[in-house]
Structure 1
Amino acid sequence: MSQTDQFSNRWGIVLASLGMAIGAGNLWRFPRLAGQYGGTFIILWILFLFIWSIPLLLAEFSIGKKFKKGVIGSYAQLAGEKYTWMGFFVTICTLGIAFYYSIVTAWALRYLGFSISNIFDSQSLGDKLVENPEYLNQFWNTISNGNWTTIGLYIFNIFLGVFVLSKGIQKGLEKANRILIPGLFFLLLIIAAIALNMENGILGLEYMFSINWNDFSNSRIWIEALTQSAWSTGAGWGLMMTLSSYSRKNEEVTLNTFISAFGNNTASLVAGMAILPAVFALAPSYEGAVSYLQSGNQALTFTIIPKLFSTFQGGGILALVFFTALFLAAFSSLLPMIELFARNLSDLGFTRKSAMTRVVIFFIIFGFPSAYSLDFFSNQDWVWGVGLIVTGLFILFAVVRSGAKKFKEELVDEDSDFKVSTNYFVICMSGNIVLALFLIYWWLSQGYSKYPWFNAEGNWNFFDVYSNASILTQWGAVMLIGFLMNKFLYNKFAAKK
């Protein structure tokens, strides 16, 4: 591995890890879920950071550092040849997220352009909302369904990401994150301070941390809390495994992982402290704010922030600042997703240039449906977001199979001055297997569609956005392909050449 194909120092990989973790999940996904479920969700989300996400990230970092391959190759070398298909599922699940996630970067750019146009428009956004209170909702509906400008921007973002990564790890990914991550934190703090100082803004903070004890019996909140922790930190994605494959030989695993995990959760809380207080500051009543938040609107961040900033002088500039921050967050997380795909292609023997060409083609083809249809986007978010429980389960299985105590002592603790308890790691590895299986069963038994398995005509309800049938069909297809191609995958990605 050349020096330009590895991080130059600790902060290079720390910032890359933060870039991977801090993304649209913090500014777009977390506020929506915290708004739906309040403090109950946040307690579970923090709990899963310690018992699920951090142990998985420790494992992923160690695997990538040890085997220096993409996800399929590294996983197969740890778990064994006959389990290569599990590494394949981890990769495809992450790519499934990456394909629709690239659309969020396009939405962020659309609203960045929208903010710029409002600054120079002779009629203010506030006046437009007085004339037509549905103006922002109509704009959202326009750009999120069948809009060719949005489609063009998501393709542009793919090319931009490939361009940055084509410079290599040090000159591309590392250099970009030195600008993206500090800038993002600075902008988030400004926005949160503004929202909290508005009249009734503090009510949003109180709502965000209020606990409804009855909600702990709701399986969906548990699933949402676990998947959000995994979605946001990158646990179970294979992204940390990919990034650490470029780490220096003596890179510290534990401290780097904790900095990334806590940095991510801090960014999420700051984003929630900006969005939720804004909702309460703008709502006609407390009940109206709660009702809006609990609707689980995908467009929460995109509609409430422009409305917030339209209420005071200079708000147009601050809206521009916010959507700049959102784009930086989304784009910084898109980069390691692209790199994950490129790294696996490199393991197949493709040159960097050839791998990136294929990345562009695949992202354009498989991201297009989500760019064209919000229902398809929502289905993919549900399928592969919950799929992170399965990918985490597979990584846990590989570590436990290799011996969790031995793995911790020989891979996690190697070169680490800061260490966590071996018992904590071993218990989390084994206990989370049981937890994951239970939550998947609990979630499937509830059903979050009117027809979870079969529609009114008795047909397999594959095309329903939130049906169990749709999710298990897509998971099953990927697992079946991986299982049938298992030997081929091992020979191509993991066998020593």
Structure 2
Amino acid sequence: MSNKEHFSNRWGIILASLAMAIGAGNLWRFPRLAGQYGGTFIILWIAFLLIWSIPILLAEFSIGKKFKKGVIGSYAEMTGKNYAWIGFFITVCTLCITFYYSVVTAWALRYLGLSLSYAFSADNLGEKIATSPEYLETYWNSVSNGSSSTIILYVITIIVAIWLLSRGIQQGLEKASKILIPTLFVLLVIIATIALNMDGGIKGLEYMFSINTANFSNPRIWLEALSQSAWSTGAGWGLIMTISSYSRDKEDVTLNTFVGAFGNNTASLLAGFAILPSVFALSASSEEAITYLESGNQSLTFTVIPKLFADIPGGAWFSSIFFLALFFAAFSSLLPMIELFTKNLLDLQLSRKVSSIIVAVCCIGFGLPSAFYLDFFNNQDWVWGVGLIISGLAIIFAVLKHGAARFKETFIDRDSDFKVPSMYFVICITLNIFLGAILIYWWMSQDYSKSWFNEEGQWDVTGIYSNASTVTQWAIVILVGIVLNRFLYKNFAKNKL
């Protein structure tokens, strides 16, 4: 069955690609890493955009454009009937991320509400923190663990997202992206402008781009740069494959991919321009600023940012703008994630209405544990965050099975006016096999994730960051995919073009 839905024009698909790529990680993870490692990290981050992310995104975009199906169907058509289970793994990996990632939108709304409550009242958050130093930490714990308000906002967000997508591609995802992405960029420019005009703000910008050549010998910086590019751009998620399945037949694969990829990096830099100058301007010393930037991701976003803006004039409004931008970033990424699920159901010949109901039930049901327990959220973030590298390697496998040079000529270059050298694509795809393997090994060798067995000597399947938990969940999905492989190929791929 041919896909009758499509984006109205090139900007529609580009903005949808940006919505997919620009997420919460741009606003909270990139500024921390850029602040921690400075210009050394930024140089490597841009390099890995070209080496890892763009080649994989080119492959994903062209596969989706060619076969016009969801991830399972497109991947099976590309690789053959024996490998539908790999497309299943990519799909489930991204869906598991969808289930917990949607909770971030609710957190952003809770903190937007907190900021606005101080913006519209005579109370001062700085005074509140002075009298109750643990106030923000206590509030964060209440928001992220067992909060009925968080769960209600989470459910509402899912329903609104699915309602938007139920209207179809042009009236749903495309129209939402045309509003969310320009608004997000405007908000980031406003925050950056305010931050850079603070006393000491320029110092943060200078620090962000300072290059310490000695850092190039630190392997951790290389791996952090690779992981940030891999996850921030959405390379290997299957999302761009889903988006491109709605593209027009003559869509330029290479141009769209490059615009989307560099647009994502631009959003990250704007977030860095906003956060780093703010941290330096509002900290007592550079050392204190670095301490803030080296805080954990969630801490930096939900406990440090409100504290930073608590005592400055208009700080509550500044904080409100930041959390509104964070919500837009998280929500814009959530839409393509949900559409990935919907598209696979549409491949089963279900109507969009029925598919939307199934997606709503699954997203709300499987996401509730992450909305209720922060430990469960952190476990899923760890397991499937690392799993995305396996998904990236799966895309590389599909390319190599076809032949990298032949794949580029047949799938990528056919309708592309803008082309990259074939040697560049072939070398990067081959090199990425080793980069992916190294990255997985590195993440699974972290001090807090090395455990395979608990103190009682049992398989540590319940450990938040344990390798046992990670491998067990991966193995279950792979085993189910292999068992269902014939069904998956028959129902998602075979004779349905």
Amino acid of the residue matched to residue 321 of structure 2? V
Aligned to 2:52: 52
* 1:457 to 2:456 alignment: yes
Task: Quote the residue 1:224 is aligned against.
Answer: 224
Give me the whole-angstrom Cα distance separating, in 2, the residues matched to 1:482 and 1:40.
41
Q: How is 1:90-489 mapped onto 2 (pairs within 5 angstroms)?
A: 90-211=90-211, 220-444=220-444, 446-449=445-448, 451-489=450-488
The aligned counterpart of 1:71 is 71
**Contact 1:33 1:296 (C-alpha < 8 Å) held by counterparts:** no
Shift of the alpha carbon at 1:86?
0.8
CA shift for structure 1 position 283: 2.3
What displacement does 1:349 show?
Answer: 2.0
Amino acid of the residue matched to residue 201 of structure 1? G
CA contact (8 A) 1:57 1:236 kept: yes
| 2:401 partner amino acid | R
Sort the Cα spacing of 1:420 and 1:329 in 2 relative to 1 into closer, same or farther, 3 A: same
Map Cα deviations across residues 446-479 of structure 1 (whole Å, 9 max, x no partner).
3332752222222222222222222111111111
- Structure 1, unpaired ranges of 5+: none
RMSD: 2.0
CA distance in 1, matches of 2:31, 2:288: 17
DSSP-derived class of the 1:5 partner: coil
Work out the CA distance in 2 between the residues paired with 1:120 and 1:475: 47
Which SS does the other structure have where 2:284 is aligned? coil
User: Counterpart of 1:474 in structure 2: which amino acid?
Assistant: Q
Distance change in 2, residues 1:219/1:148 (3 Å) = farther
Question: Does the CA contact (< 8 Å) of 1:35 and 1:296 recur in 2?
Answer: no
Q: 1:133 to 1:198 in 2, by over 3 A?
A: farther
Q: 1:49 to 1:451 in 2, by over 3 A?
A: closer
After superposing the two structures, state which structure 1 stretch, 102-111 or 34-43, moved more. 34-43
TM-score by length of 2: 0.95
Separation (CA, whole Å) in 1 of partners of 2:128 and 2:117: 13
Distance 1:45 1:334 in 2: 24
Normalization by structure 1: what TM-score? 0.95
Change (3 A) 1:114 1:256: same
- Contact 1:448–1:467 (8 Å) recurs in 2: no
Structure 2: which 5+ residue stretches go unaligned? Answer: none
Partner of 1:496: 495
Is contact 2:3-2:246 (8 Å) kept?
Answer: no
For residues 347 and 218 of structure 2, the distance between their equivalents in structure 1, rounded to whole angstroms, comes to: 43
Provide closer, same or farther for how the CA distance between residues 440 and 214 of structure 1 changes in structure 2, counting only shifts above 3 A.
farther
Separation of aligned partners in 2, 1:361 and 1:78:
31
> Is the deviation greater in 461-470 or in 254-263?
461-470
- Which region of structure 1 is more displaced relative to structure 2, 7-16 or 186-195? 186-195
Matched residues in 2 for 1:333 and 1:416: separation? 26
Q: 1:96 to 1:223 in 2, by over 3 A?
A: farther
Q: Does 1:5 align with 2:5?
A: yes
> Kindly tell me: are residues 300 and 441 of structure 1, through their superposed partners in 2, closer, same or farther at Cα, counting changes over 3 Å?
closer
Q: Give me the whole-angstrom Cα distance separating, in 1, the residues matched to 2:12 and 2:201.
A: 37
The change in CA–CA distance for 1:372 and 1:192 in structure 2 (over 3 A counts) is same
1:31 to partner: Cα distance: 2.3
Q: Deviations over 1:186-227 (max 9, x none)?
A: 110110122222223333333433455565565554443323
Within 2, Cα distance between the matches of 1:346 and 1:140?
39
The answer to whether the Cα contact below 8 Å between 2:23 and 2:329 also exists between their aligned partners in 1 is yes
CA distance in 2 between counterparts of 1:466 and 1:175 reads 39
Between 186-195 and 273-282, report the one with greater CA deviation.
273-282
Structure 1 Cα separation of the partners of residues 128 and 62 of structure 2: 54
Match of 1:89 in 2: 89
Contact in 2 for aligned 1:448/1:466 (Cα 8 Å):
no
Partners of 2:3 and 2:459 lie apart in 1 by 52
CA contact (8 A) 2:124 2:311 kept: no
Cα 1:271–1:211, aligned 2, differ >3 Å: closer, same or farther?
same
Contact 2:227-2:439 at 8 Å conserved across structures: no
Alpha-carbon distance, 1:369 to partner:
1.4
Contact 1:227 1:385 in 2 (8 A): no
* In 2, Cα distance between equivalents of 1:450 and 1:490: 35
Q: Which moved more, 1:389-398 or 1:311-320?
A: 311-320
For residue 448 of structure 1, give the secondary structure of its aligned residue in structure 2: coil
User: Do the aligned partners of 2:144 and 2:150 also contact (CA within 8 Å) in 1?
Assistant: yes
How far off is 1:442 after superposition?
A: 4.2
CA shift in 2, pair 1:468/1:211, >3 Å:
farther
Provide the C-alpha distance between the structure 2 equivalents of 1:331 and 1:402, rounded to a whole number of angstroms: 36
The structural deviation recorded for 1:261 is 0.3
Aligned residue pairs total 496
Equivalent residues of 1:4, 1:169 under 8 A apart: no
Find the aligned partners of 1:171 and 1:3 in 2 and give their Cα distance: 16
- Determine what percentage of the aligned residue pairs are the same residue: 65
Inter-CA distance 211–241: structure 2 relative to 1 (3 Å threshold)? same
Q: Matches of 1:82 and 1:414 in 2, distance apart? A: 27
Contact kept in structure 1, 2:151 and 2:368, CA below 8 Å: yes
Q: Secondary structure at the match of 1:298?
A: helix
Question: Residue 167 of structure 1: SS of its match in structure 2?
Answer: coil
Of residues 323-332 and 235-244 in structure 1, the stretch that sits farther from structure 2 once superposed is 323-332
Q: Secondary structure in 2 aligned to 1:299?
A: helix
Shift of 1:433: 1.4
Q: Deviations over 1:3-49 (max 9, x none)?
A: 97210000010111111111112112322333444444333322211
1:167, CA displacement in angstroms? 0.8
**Within 2, Cα distance between the matches of 1:141 and 1:43?**
36
- Give the letter for the 1:267 counterpart: A
Read off the aligned partner of 1:467 and give its amino acid letter. S
**Aligned-partner Cα distance in 2 for 1:169–1:258:** 22
Check 1:49–1:184 CA distance in 2 against 1; reply closer, same or farther (3 A cut). Answer: same
